Structure 1
Protein backbone atom coordinates (compact mmCIF):
# COMPACT_ATOMS: atom_id res chain seq x y z
CA UNK A 1 0.00 0.00 0.00
CA UNK A 2 1.47 3.34 -1.01
CA UNK A 3 1.62 6.34 1.28
CA UNK A 4 -0.48 9.28 0.07
CA UNK A 5 1.44 11.36 -2.49
CA UNK A 6 3.35 14.52 -1.80
CA UNK A 7 1.20 17.62 -1.90
CA UNK A 8 -1.85 18.48 0.10
CA UNK A 9 -2.57 15.50 2.33
CA UNK A 10 -5.18 15.74 5.05
CA UNK A 11 -4.87 14.29 8.51
CA UNK A 12 -7.85 12.08 7.69
CA UNK A 13 -5.95 10.60 4.73
CA UNK A 14 -2.97 9.80 6.97
CA UNK A 15 -5.22 8.23 9.63
CA UNK A 16 -6.86 6.12 6.92
CA UNK A 17 -3.46 5.03 5.57
CA UNK A 18 -2.16 3.98 8.99
CA UNK A 19 -5.49 2.39 9.94
CA UNK A 20 -5.22 0.18 6.85
CA UNK A 21 -1.82 -1.05 8.08
CA UNK A 22 -3.22 -1.74 11.55
CA UNK A 23 -6.29 -3.45 10.09
CA UNK A 24 -3.97 -6.10 8.63
CA UNK A 25 -2.89 -6.91 12.20
CA UNK A 26 -6.09 -6.33 14.17
CA UNK A 27 -8.52 -7.57 11.53
CA UNK A 28 -10.99 -4.74 12.14
CA UNK A 29 -10.77 -1.21 10.72
CA UNK A 30 -12.83 0.37 13.50
CA UNK A 31 -10.53 -1.08 16.20
CA UNK A 32 -7.51 0.07 14.19
CA UNK A 33 -8.83 3.64 14.02
CA UNK A 34 -9.72 3.67 17.72
CA UNK A 35 -6.26 2.62 18.95
CA UNK A 36 -4.37 5.35 17.01
CA UNK A 37 -3.63 8.32 19.25
CA UNK A 38 -1.01 10.27 17.25
CA UNK A 39 -0.41 10.67 13.51
CA UNK A 40 2.29 12.48 11.57
CA UNK A 41 3.56 12.29 8.00
CA UNK A 42 6.34 9.87 9.02
CA UNK A 43 4.73 7.76 11.73
CA UNK A 44 1.86 6.98 14.04
CA UNK A 45 1.41 5.86 17.63
CA UNK A 46 -1.16 3.37 18.78
CA UNK A 47 -2.06 1.41 21.88
CA UNK A 48 -2.18 -2.34 21.19
CA UNK A 49 -1.41 -5.53 23.10
CA UNK A 50 1.93 -7.39 23.04
CA UNK A 51 0.83 -10.00 20.50
CA UNK A 52 -0.44 -7.33 18.11
CA UNK A 53 2.81 -5.40 18.62
CA UNK A 54 4.82 -8.42 17.49
CA UNK A 55 2.54 -8.93 14.50
CA UNK A 56 2.73 -5.25 13.54
CA UNK A 57 6.53 -5.30 13.73
CA UNK A 58 6.57 -8.07 11.11
CA UNK A 59 4.58 -6.03 8.55
CA UNK A 60 6.92 -4.91 5.71
CA UNK A 61 7.93 -1.26 6.04
CA UNK A 62 6.97 -0.98 9.72
CA UNK A 63 9.63 0.13 12.20
CA UNK A 64 8.96 -0.74 15.83
CA UNK A 65 10.57 0.95 18.83
Structure 2
Protein backbone atom coordinates (compact mmCIF):
# COMPACT_ATOMS: atom_id res chain seq x y z
CA UNK A 1 0.00 0.00 0.00
CA UNK A 2 1.24 3.46 -0.95
CA UNK A 3 -0.35 6.56 0.57
CA UNK A 4 0.02 10.14 -0.64
CA UNK A 5 -1.59 13.35 0.53
CA UNK A 6 -2.18 16.67 -1.21
CA UNK A 7 -1.65 19.30 1.46
CA UNK A 8 -2.91 22.02 -0.90
CA UNK A 9 -6.33 20.32 -1.07
CA UNK A 10 -6.57 19.62 2.67
CA UNK A 11 -9.25 21.56 4.55
CA UNK A 12 -7.96 20.54 8.00
CA UNK A 13 -11.09 18.63 9.05
CA UNK A 14 -9.09 16.01 10.97
CA UNK A 15 -11.18 13.08 9.75
CA UNK A 16 -8.06 11.24 8.59
CA UNK A 17 -6.45 11.47 12.02
CA UNK A 18 -9.56 10.11 13.70
CA UNK A 19 -9.66 7.19 11.24
CA UNK A 20 -5.94 6.33 11.21
CA UNK A 21 -3.91 8.20 13.82
CA UNK A 22 -0.89 5.97 13.25
CA UNK A 23 -0.64 7.16 9.65
CA UNK A 24 -1.90 10.76 9.71
CA UNK A 25 -1.38 13.81 11.89
CA UNK A 26 -2.10 17.52 11.58
CA UNK A 27 0.22 20.52 11.63
CA UNK A 28 -0.16 22.54 14.80
CA UNK A 29 -0.24 25.91 13.07
CA UNK A 30 -3.05 25.28 10.59
CA UNK A 31 -4.36 21.71 10.96
CA UNK A 32 -3.25 20.58 7.50
CA UNK A 33 -2.64 16.85 7.14
CA UNK A 34 0.81 15.39 7.77
CA UNK A 35 1.58 11.91 6.44
CA UNK A 36 3.47 9.95 9.10
CA UNK A 37 4.12 6.90 6.94
CA UNK A 38 3.64 6.50 3.19
CA UNK A 39 3.84 2.71 3.43
CA UNK A 40 1.68 1.61 6.37
CA UNK A 41 1.63 -2.04 7.45
CA UNK A 42 -1.18 -4.30 6.18
CA UNK A 43 -3.02 -4.24 9.52
CA UNK A 44 -3.62 -0.49 9.06
CA UNK A 45 -4.90 -0.79 5.47
CA UNK A 46 -8.59 -0.71 6.36
CA UNK A 47 -8.18 2.38 8.57
CA UNK A 48 -6.20 4.16 5.84
CA UNK A 49 -8.84 3.40 3.22
CA UNK A 50 -11.50 4.68 5.62
CA UNK A 51 -9.52 7.88 6.15
CA UNK A 52 -9.34 8.44 2.39
CA UNK A 53 -13.06 7.75 2.03
CA UNK A 54 -14.10 10.25 4.71
CA UNK A 55 -11.74 13.05 3.63
CA UNK A 56 -14.06 15.90 2.58
CA UNK A 57 -11.40 17.38 0.28
CA UNK A 58 -10.34 14.07 -1.30
CA UNK A 59 -6.75 14.95 -0.34
CA UNK A 60 -5.67 11.35 0.34
CA UNK A 61 -4.74 8.86 -2.38
CA UNK A 62 -4.25 5.15 -1.69
CA UNK A 63 -2.65 2.74 -4.13
CA UNK A 64 -2.54 -0.99 -3.65
Q: Normalising by structure 1, what TM-score?
A: 0.36
Higher share in helix: 1
Larger strand proportion of the pair: 2
Query: What is the TM-score normalised by the length of structure 2?
Result: 0.37
Larger Rg, first or second structure (1 or 2): 1
